[in-house]
Structure 1
Amino acid sequence: MKKSIACLLVIASLGGAVAASAQTLQPLDRIAAVVDEDVILQSELDRAVRNVTQQYANQPGQLPPQNVLERQVLERLVLMKLQVARANSSGITVTDDELNNAVAGIAQQNGTTIDGLRQRIAADGLSFDEFRNSVRDEITVQRLRQSFAQSRIQVSEAEVNAAMAAQASGGTQYHLAHILVALPEGATPEQIATGQKKVDGIKALLDKNEMEFNAAAVRYSDSPNALEGGDLGWRSVDEIPPAFVETLKGMNAGQVVGPIRGPSGFQLLKLVETRDASQAAPKMVTEYHARHILVRITPTQDAAAAKAKIDTARARVAGGADFAAVAKEASEDTNTRDNGGELGWFPADAYGPDFGQKIAALQDGQVTEPFRSEAGWHIVQREGSRQSDVGDANRRSQVRETIGRRKLEEEYNRFLQEMRGEAFVSFRNQADAAATPTTAPAPAPATPAPSGG
């Protein structure tokens, strides 16, 4: 999907550590927050707030007061810092080659060259080094999420069977939005009472039509998607926590329910609209036939050694060697090595979005450049593609993926909440960082708690 430069700058501004530059060395650039052993500079915060404001240029009334907006953006920057630090401590890295490829891809998606992208970034007041660092942080966080999903998220056959049965009965999809008033793990009675008072105040504003739901989410929600108006997008039944499903079935579009007490705190849930799931479900999928060579990263084989091996394998193939023969000799995927790296036919998302995008960009017979996944370094040869009916096996795979996404969202938000609660975070020059909105009837002051979903 083509991204606008403005959108990319929001990502950049919410990225992690910003490289030292002439601007950041000026005496006027203060520290906005200390996050464990890292810092967020005031210039980072100002730039991030400015870009969020630009995104709402046509809807300025949707934004909260400046001090509240700064607090929300600062919390996002804090979470990004914490995620990047956790990824780095877990050995998750992004090489310069991977970063160069990602930046080249962004330029291509925006119909320009690297030099053209550099000029457009500079015109928007961001240095190219800062932009590259923010892209690196985004990739790092994506890999942290992938690693988290692989280690923590399990989907049972019973869950898949139940979701398949619901789809067969003509299920409905729901467009949802929410407002979260977060509570810390092991909240005290006083913290719970404060949270209850705040969420009741927000609900009162909505009931009296004194504020639109998305505006209230931007202003008051503790959820990471607050600045998106709390929008959760379209969800099928298998992507919604079971506790909410029966409630949704009795709601009308536009209705708000809650507060509902959940693992992360109190929630207000809005049903934006509904649609027939059968109308939205795809009938055909693109499948690919491919082979691959994998060189794993292990405690005895670091990323550099693995990269050297995959580069050698890629050079042999480029020199005319048979891909299957090289796979039998060099691949460290024991499941496919003996068959020359044969993967058979599979949908694009079978091995994750990055893997699928690499194959989709090839012509039949072409081989990817080396790329890295959580498993290690790969090269892939595409042998064919086809359009296939979505059969039971594919539907089961899709259902399993949607259930996994829903579970990942829930568990990862709790993971963020835990990290935020354990971290040392000190706001500087932000006396109003925890300020309470004063619109009457004002919700109670927010409990100092991590954002979570």
Structure 2
Amino acid sequence: MKHIFSTCRSLAVVLLTASCLSAALTAQAESSSQQTLDKVIAVVNDDVVMASELALQTRMLASQIQQAKQPLPPANILQQQVLEKLIVESLQLQMGERSGIKVSKQQLDAAVAGVAAQNKLSTEVFRRELNAQGIPFGMFRENIRRQMILQQVQQAFVIKRIEISDQDVDNFLASEEGRRLATQEAIDKPINQTQARHILIKPSAIRNDDETRSLLSKIQSVVQQGGDFSALAKKYSEDPGSALKGGELGWISPGQVVPEFENAMNNTDIGSVSEPFQTQFGWHVVQVLDRRAQNMSETIMRQQAQMILRKRKFQDELPRWLKELRDQAYVKINN
């Protein structure tokens, strides 16, 4: 069940600060006064980059650089950098679509509300502010959706290229820096753990969110009537890490799984099965088997060390993966 654990996720959307929002508003205002005949700038596998998108993204980046009081590169260099960014993003989005990675309306609503809160506004006031500045709210939501998918794609395809061995952890903890960083989260007192198992079912091209939730509701009902949770998990669950084990997740510590999963698990009694709930990975039901208080200071310290090492290796591996993706793609740039 590696992929629902927070050590391997990056759902958190990068929230716009007030200055970045201002830059985006400025760029949009400028673009509204410049009507350009649209054309295809680049063919990227099965997708295209349009001149209008390149122009808007270039102006937005230029505005952000100016707001940061940094020198602007020459216009042609800036445009080349933005085009390359759009090409690589297109390749990732296409990969996400092929892999069935989606962002639900609920997840997108929560992300947009987070952006509004970062700017100290309610969602409705934020919507009105965007519209007043000439930015369609739908366009803003689409940009956030794209960023969420990009993050999920990177996590899905880069994380599996990373391996953290016990020896890596030992070496890290043997260093002064490693011990200091890892012990910041370790606590020398018992923590509450939950033993649980789950069933994950993902929406697909032939099964929408409502149908997926309905299927899990039927599975929940079968279990409540005495059905074998383990057998049902082996039959239905789409989590490759736990399905063959009957959905078993072992003992879970606070913060080890994504918040939606932890909340549902914490609100479920021992021996009971939760109502269907959604995370970025799909729809779940979770059964709580037991709870205990356990001194986990050493385990937590090793988990923290793994998280630090994985984050560092992710930052090193991501550019290599993106370069491979770009090198293997069909890209034709129209001059």
Normalising by the smaller structure, the TM-score range is: 0.5 to 0.7
Aligned to 1:84: 93
Runs of 5+ consecutive residues of structure 2 not aligned to the other structure: 1-11, 26-31, 269-273
CA–CA separation in structure 1 for the residues paired with 2:229 and 2:140: 37
CA–CA separation in structure 2 for the residues paired with 1:358 and 1:150: 21
Aligned to 1:4: 16
CA–CA separation in structure 1 for the residues paired with 2:99 and 2:192: 34
CA–CA separation in structure 2 for the residues paired with 1:324 and 1:8: 54
Shift of 1:57: 3.4
Amino acid at match of 2:313: K
**Is contact 2:197–2:250 with CA below 8 Å preserved after alignment?**
yes
**Is contact 1:10–1:52 with CA below 8 Å preserved after alignment?**
no
- Structure 2 counterparts to residues 382-397 of structure 1, below 5 A: 391-397=297-303
| CA displacement, residues 105-147 of structure 1 (integer Å, 9 cap, x when unaligned) | 4445544444323223334443222222222222222221222
Amino acid at match of 2:16: S
Shift of 1:87: 1.7
CA–CA separation in structure 1 for the residues paired with 2:308 and 2:331: 34
With normalisation by structure 2, the TM-score equals 0.67
Amino acid at match of 1:296: I
Aligned to 1:131: 140
Is 1:371 aligned to residue 278 of structure 2?
A: yes
Aligned to 1:346: 253
SS at structure 2 position matched to 1:60? coil
Amino acid at match of 1:41: M
CA–CA separation in structure 1 for the residues paired with 2:86 and 2:184: 36
CA–CA separation in structure 1 for the residues paired with 2:59 and 2:226: 52
Match of 1:406 among 312, 321, 330: 312
- Structure 2 counterparts to residues 169-180 of structure 1, below 5 A: 170-171=176-177
Count of residue pairs the alignment pairs up = 300
SS at structure 1 position matched to 2:15? coil
Amino acid at match of 2:55: D
Amino acid at match of 2:305: V
SS at structure 2 position matched to 1:294? strand
**Is contact 1:153–1:404 with CA below 8 Å preserved after alignment?**
yes
Aligned to 2:130: 121
* CA pair 100-382 structure 1, distance change in 2 beyond 3 A: farther
Amino acid at match of 1:346: S
SS at structure 2 position matched to 1:29? coil
**Is contact 1:289–1:345 with CA below 8 Å preserved after alignment?**
yes
Aligned to 1:140: 149
CA–CA separation in structure 2 for the residues paired with 1:10 and 1:335: 50
CA–CA separation in structure 2 for the residues paired with 1:398 and 1:68: 41
Aligned to 1:47: 56
CA–CA separation in structure 2 for the residues paired with 1:280 and 1:63: 43
Match of 1:304 among 207, 215, 219: 207
Aligned to 2:271: none
CA–CA separation in structure 2 for the residues paired with 1:116 and 1:382: 41
Shift of 1:346: 1.0
Shift of 1:157: 1.4
Amino acid at match of 1:45: L
SS at structure 2 position matched to 1:33? strand
Aligned to 1:422: 328
**Is contact 1:295–1:377 with CA below 8 Å preserved after alignment?**
yes
Structure having the higher strand fraction is 1
Structure 1 stretch displaced more, 323-332 or 108-117: 323-332
Shift of 1:12: 8.7
Aligned to 1:35: 44
Structure having the higher helix fraction is 2
**Is contact 2:185–2:300 with CA below 8 Å preserved after alignment?**
no
CA–CA separation in structure 2 for the residues paired with 1:104 and 1:303: 30
* CA pair 323-84 structure 1, distance change in 2 beyond 3 A: farther
| Greater RCO, 1 or 2 (C-alpha within 8 Å, sep 6+) | 2
* CA pair 324-28 structure 1, distance change in 2 beyond 3 A: farther
| CA displacement, residues 254-274 of structure 1 (integer Å, 9 cap, x when unaligned) | xxxxxxxxxxxxxxxxxxxxx
- Structure 2 counterparts to residues 280-295 of structure 1, below 5 A: 281-284=184-187, 289=194, 293-295=198-200
CA RMSD across the alignment: 4.6
CA–CA separation in structure 1 for the residues paired with 2:71 and 2:193: 44
Shift of 1:312: 5.5
- Structure 2 counterparts to residues 171-320 of structure 1, below 5 A: 171=177, 277=180, 281-284=184-187, 289=194, 293-297=198-202, 304=207, 308-311=211-214, 313=216
Amino acid at match of 1:294: I
SS at structure 1 position matched to 2:207? helix
Aligned to 1:264: none
CA–CA separation in structure 1 for the residues paired with 2:304 and 2:138: 39
